[in-house]
Amino acid sequence: MRVTQVRTYVLKQPTETAYLGKLNDGSAPAPDQGYFVRPPWRSLYSAFMETVLVRVTTDEGVEGWGEALAPVGPEVVAAIIDRMLGPWLVGRDPLRVRPLWDGMRDLMRERGHLAGHQADALAALDIALWDLAGKAAGLPVAQLLGGAYRTEIPAYISGLPEPTDEGRAELAADWAKRGASMVKLALGNGVEEDLATYDAVAAAAPGLGIAIDAHWVYSLPQALELGRELDRRRALFFEAPLAPEDIAGHQELASRVTTPIAVGEALRNRYEFRDWFDRRATGLAQPDVARTGITEAMTIATLADARHIPVACHHSVGLGVSLAAGLHVAAAVADSPFFELQPTTLPYAQRILRTPITHTASGFTLPQGPGLGIDIDQEVLDDLVQGG
C-alpha cells in the first residue's frame, strides 16, 4: 500500500455564538472584523470556527482523516501540509505510522521547527495515518494503541460562556440538572473577581467539581494568592496560571499549592513536556491531540505515567476528527480522569460526521468501528469549504 494523495480542507464556519461567548462588555464579535483579542486574555480569536482537515488516500482505496487544532490561521497549517509534509508522504507506506512520524518530524528539525504550526501540521497527518491504519486492519485506533481502559469517558463542561457571574451560575445549575459533574470556568479577570465567580457557581450548583482556566494572565504572587484560595475550596484544577514559557514559576506555584496545576495546551512534543514533568511544574498534563498527534500524545502519556501525573486531553474548537482522536487517546491512557467537553463548538464539530459522536452532560462514548470510528460526510464538508 502506498499514499497517492494528501488533500487539505480549510474550514471557517460562521457561528451564532462566538467561542467562549460574548465579550466582557456584553458585545458579540463581528464576523467582518478579522481576528481580535478578548481582554484580559492576550491571544487572537476568530468570530468563525476555523480548522484544517486533511485526507490521506492510498492506491488501495483506503483513506484516513486528520485534523489540526488551528483556530486562527488554518491556511498556514494547510500550506505546510500542501508544500512540505504532504509531498514527502506521497509514495510511502502509510502503515509505518511511527517511522513516518519520525521522518516528518525531522524534515525541519535542525531549523528549529519542532513546535508551532509545523507541529500542528504533523499532528493532522499523524491522526490521518492512525485512522487509515485502523481502517486497513479493521480495528479501532484505541485497540491499535494497546486497548481501551474505558469506553465511557468522563468529561467536564468547559467555558460557561456568559459575561456575568449570574449568567455563569445559571448555566452551571442547568448543566448540573442535566447530569454534569464537573465544569471549567474561563477566567483570569483578577483574583477577587475569579473567586467571586467560583463562589457564585459553587453556590448555584453544590457538589459540582469546579476548575479554573486563567489563560496565562497572572504573575506568580497573584497565582499563589488565587491558588491558596482554590485549595480551600478544593478546586478540581488550576489551568494555565502563568506565562506559558515560565516553567520555573509554575514549578514554584505547584510546590506551594495542593490544587493540581494544569498545563499542556501550548506544548507540542515529548521534549517540552519532559522538562515540565521533570521539574514537577505541572500536576495535570493536558496535551491536545490535534497539536501533538496520536503518536506523540501516547509518548507524552508514557512520560507522565512514569512520574505519576494524570493526563486530561485538552480540546477546544476542533471538529469531529480531532474530537474522535482525543477520545481514542483518552481511552488508551491508564490515568486519564476526564476530557474537555465544549458545548459551544460541539454542534459545529458534529456536522461534518454522518453519525454524531455520542455524549451526555457527563461525558463521551468512545466511537466504535475501524480507525477513529467516524464517517466524514464529504458533501457537507465540500459545502462548508465552498461557503468559507
Residue 340 near residue 318 (C-beta atoms within 8 A): no
Domain identity same for 118 and 180 = no
Task: Please count the other Cβ atoms lying within 10 Å of the Cβ belonging to residue 342.
Answer: 21
Domain identity same for 88 and 170 = no
DSSP secondary structure, 266-308, as one string? T--SHHHHHHHHHTT--SEE---HHHHHHHHHHHHHHHHHHTT
Domain identity same for 109 and 175 = no
Who contacts 215 (Cβ-Cβ below 8 Å, separation ≥6)? 40, 41, 42, 43, 186, 187, 188, 240
Q: What is the mean pLDDT of residues 181-201?
A: 97
Domain identity same for 224 and 95 = no
Amino acid at 39: P
pLDDT for the residue numbered 31: 72
Q: Let me know if 121 is exposed, middle or buried by CB neighbors in 10 A (0-12, 13-18, 19+).
A: buried
Indicate the range of 29-43, 130-144, 274-288 predicted with least confidence. Answer: 29-43
Residue 341 near residue 364 (C-beta atoms within 8 A): yes
Domain identity same for 152 and 136 = no
Indicate the range of 23-27, 165-169, 177-181, 271-275 predicted with least confidence. Answer: 23-27
Domain identity same for 160 and 58 = no
H helices present in 309-358, as ranges: 320-332, 346-350
pLDDT for the residue numbered 386: 67
User: Percent of the chain beyond pLDDT 90?
Assistant: 87
What is the per-residue pLDDT across 61-120, written as a single tens digit (0 to 9) for each? 999 999 999 999 999 999 999 999 999 999 999 999 999 999 999 999 999 999 999 999
What is the per-residue pLDDT across 138-182, written as a single tens digit (0 to 9) for each? 999 999 999 999 999 999 999 898 989 999 999 999 999 999 999
Who contacts 260 (Cβ-Cβ below 8 Å, separation ≥6)? 236, 237, 238, 282, 283, 284, 310
- The CATH number of residue 10's host domain is 3.30.390.10
Residue 310 has pLDDT above 90, yes or no: yes
Residue 161 near residue 20 (C-beta atoms within 8 A): yes
Domain count, the chain: 2
Q: What is the mean pLDDT of residues 269-294?
A: 98
Residue 387 has pLDDT above 60, yes or no: no
Mean pLDDT (the chain, rounded): 95
Domain membership of residue 19 as a residue range: 3-142+379-387
User: How sure is the predictor about 32, in pLDDT bands with cuts at 50, 70 and 90?
Assistant: confident
Q: What is the mean pLDDT of residues 35-46?
A: 88
| All three cell numbers of 130 | 492512525
Domain identity same for 73 and 118 = yes
Q: Which helix (H) or strand (E) is 228 found in, with range?
A: helix 220-233
Domain identity same for 121 and 152 = no
Domain identity same for 337 and 243 = yes
Q: Which residue has the cell 506523540?
A: 296
Domain identity same for 8 and 135 = yes
User: How sure is the predictor about 388, in pLDDT bands with cuts at 50, 70 and 90?
Assistant: low
pLDDT for the residue numbered 201: 98
Residue 315 near residue 323 (C-beta atoms within 8 A): yes
Residue 29 has pLDDT above 90, yes or no: no
Domain identity same for 164 and 84 = no
**Cα–Cα nearest to 346, from 324, 372, 366, 367:** 324
Q: What is the spatial distance between Cα 116 and Cα 84, in angstroms, rounded to a whole number?
A: 15
- The CATH number of residue 289's host domain is 3.20.20.120
Q: Which residue has the cell 508514557?
A: 302
Q: Is 174 helix (H, G, I), strand (E, B) or coil?
A: helix
Domain identity same for 120 and 168 = no
Q: 138: left (phi > 0), else alpha (psi -120 to 50), else beta?
A: left
pTM (predicted TM-score):
0.96
Q: What is the spatial distance between Cα 249 and Cα 239, in angstroms, rounded to a whole number?
A: 14
